[in-house]
């Protein structure tokens, strides 16, 4: 039994709701600027993709607040209200990397300096487990899981949530990812020398690195029985999911994309979809030299002629949220029959041997693939299909 996608919610730098995000992708406009909420001492004003004010509840840390906003949109889109929640087994599976753990920097500084800081900041962090925030807010009684697997976390959370539906553990699962911009994270990526001082250029010959972003996305996954019982509709189905590890390097992908190849092939096999049947691929496409070279070559080899694109030129790299944000875009693009251009791309890279979409284009097909590559050699792939 494949999990249906009955609702979608998303907010990031491209827009405050999923329809706004899709309009932002269609427009081709993007707004990377130096960070406003966080400050660093770097001479270079590295651009980031921040989310504008979105009515952040004061009791929540930003990562959880982003997730809650996306969840409210997704539940509304699915038509799920309190009466439905009260009679359904609803789980929560959320991917993140930064989470709320880096929101206690002042406490840690004071503690390291030998002071005796108040524990309130730490207690606030403990109350802001993102998955637990959703369960507590909506009164959900099913499984509650946070997935922390670097930049594939959001994809893995959706894959795990879909497995709960297929196993009959839940009627409905809120699955997705969330991450906020953090000064520590930004400094860390700058130290790795993989941040572009200009707006990022995924798959471009002259790419120099990524830009960080923030955001959240939630997919409402649902069983067919639950959909029929409440008269809901499926926007798509999760046809296949797979994850595979390169076991190659702490931060770099395998030169031949060994893990990514396995993840894509296994996900397609589980979905019963041939590569040539795919309408498009929503690629990870960070803008870093290694990621884009490896991913582009794998896609050109395994899926020749299938159009692909990266949306990180519009959103920045949202880390643990990236796979979920891109999954939401994948479903929405499959429904709409068009894919966006890869913002920032201008010059083909001869080392890759293929190029992403340069402008909005129409696509045909009933299935699409979304890929994620992560530190630690982690790779994940999701196949979505149009509802039959």
Which among 10, 100, 170, 284 is annotated as catalytic? 284
**Stated pTM of the model:** 0.96
Say yes or no to pLDDT of 1 above 70: no
Instruction: Provide the token pair at 82.
Output: 């309190």
pLDDT for the residue 91 = 98
Say yes or no to pLDDT of 81 above 70: yes
pLDDT for the residue 205 = 98
From 34-48, 198-212, 301-315, the region with the lowest mean pLDDT: 34-48
Q: What is the pLDDT of residues 211-267, one digit of tens each?
A: 999 999 999 999 999 999 999 999 999 999 999 999 888 888 899 999 999 999 999
Q: Concatenate the DSSP letters of all residues of 348-388 into one string.
A: --TTT------S-EE---SEEEEEEEEGGGEEEEEEEE---
Instruction: Pick the closest to residue 177 from 202, 200, 151 (CA basis).
Output: 151
Which among 88, 151, 170, 245 is annotated as catalytic? 151
pLDDT for the residue 144 = 98
pLDDT for the residue 100 = 64
Which among 10, 93, 314, 317 is annotated as catalytic? 317
Per CATH, the homologous superfamily of domain 3-385 is Thiolase/Chalcone synthase (3.40.47.10)
Indicate the pairing of strand 90-95 with strand 236-245.
Answer: unpaired
Answer yes or no: 317 catalytic: yes
DSSP, res 51:
P
- Distance of alpha carbon 189 from alpha carbon 294, whole angstroms: 20
Instruction: Provide the token pair at 186.
Output: 């930004």
CA distances from 269 to 120, 222, 251, 263 (A): 49, 22, 28, 10
346-371 average pLDDT score: 96
pLDDT-derived band at 384, boundaries 50, 70, 90: very high
Indicate the pairing of strand 280-282 with strand 367-374.
Answer: parallel
pLDDT for the residue 249 = 85
Whether 17 and 11 have beta carbons less than 8 Å apart is answered as yes
Answer yes or no: 31 catalytic: no
Q: Residue 46: which residues within 8 A CB-CB, separation 6 or more? A: 34, 35, 40, 186, 190, 195, 196, 197, 211
pLDDT for the residue 163 = 98
pLDDT for the residue 151 = 96
pLDDT for the residue 109 = 80
Answer yes or no: 108 catalytic: no
Mean pLDDT rounded to a whole number for the chain:
94
Cβ-count burial 313-349 (b if 16+ within 10 Å, e if not): bbbbbbbbbbbbbbbbbbbbbbbeebbbbbbbbeebb
Q: What DSSP element (H or E) covers 283?
A: none
pLDDT for the residue 103 = 64
Say yes or no to pLDDT of 101 above 70: no
């Amino acid at each position: 039994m494949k999990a249906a996608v009955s609702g979608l919610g998303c907010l990031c730098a491209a827009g405050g709701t999923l329809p706004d995000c899709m309009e932002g992708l269609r427009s081709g406009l993007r707004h990377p600027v130096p960070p406003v909420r966080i400050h660093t001492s770097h001479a270079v004003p590295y651009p980031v993709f921040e989310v504008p004010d979105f009515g952040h509840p004061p009791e929540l840390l930003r990562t959880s607040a982003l997730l809650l906003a996306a969840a409210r949109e997704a539940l509304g889109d699915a038509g799920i209200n309190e009466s439905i929640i009260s009679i359904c087994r609803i789980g929560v599976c959320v991917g993140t990397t930064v989470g709320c753990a880096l929101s206690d920097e002042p406490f840690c500084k004071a503690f390291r300096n030998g002071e005796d800081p108040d524990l309130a900041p730490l207690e606030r962090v403990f109350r802001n487990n993102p998955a637990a925030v959703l369960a507590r807010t909506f009164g959900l009684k099913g499984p509650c899981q946070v997935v922390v697997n670097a930049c594939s976390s959001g994809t893995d959370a959706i894959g795990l949530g879909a497995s709960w539906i297929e196993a009959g553990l839940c009627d409905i699962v809120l699955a997705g990812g969330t991450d906020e911009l953090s000064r520590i994270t930004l400094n860390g990526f700058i130290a790795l020398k993989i941040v572009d001082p200009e707006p990022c250029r995924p798959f471009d010959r002259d790419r120099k690195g990524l830009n960080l972003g923030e955001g959240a996305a939630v997919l409402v996954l649902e069983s067919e029985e639950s959909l029929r019982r409440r008269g809901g509709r499926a926007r798509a189905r999760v046809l296949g999911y797979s994850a595979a590890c390169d076991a190659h390097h702490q931060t770099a992908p395998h030169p031949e994309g060994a893990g990514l190849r396995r993840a894509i092939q296994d996900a397609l096999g589980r979905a019963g979809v041939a590569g040539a049947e795919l309408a498009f691929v929503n690629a990870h496409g960070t803008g870093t030299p290694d990621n884009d070279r490896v991913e582009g070559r794998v896609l050109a080899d395994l899926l020749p002629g299938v159009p692909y694109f990266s949306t990180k030129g519009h959103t920045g790299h949202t880390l643990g949220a990236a796979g979920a944000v891109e999954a939401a875009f994948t479903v929405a693009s499959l429904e709409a029959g068009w894919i966006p251009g890869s913002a920032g791309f201008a010059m083909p890279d001869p080392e890759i041997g293929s190029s992403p979409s340069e402008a909005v284009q129409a696509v045909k097909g009933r299935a699409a693939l979304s890929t994620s590559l992560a530190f630690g050699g982690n790779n994940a792939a999701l196949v979505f299909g149009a509802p039959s």
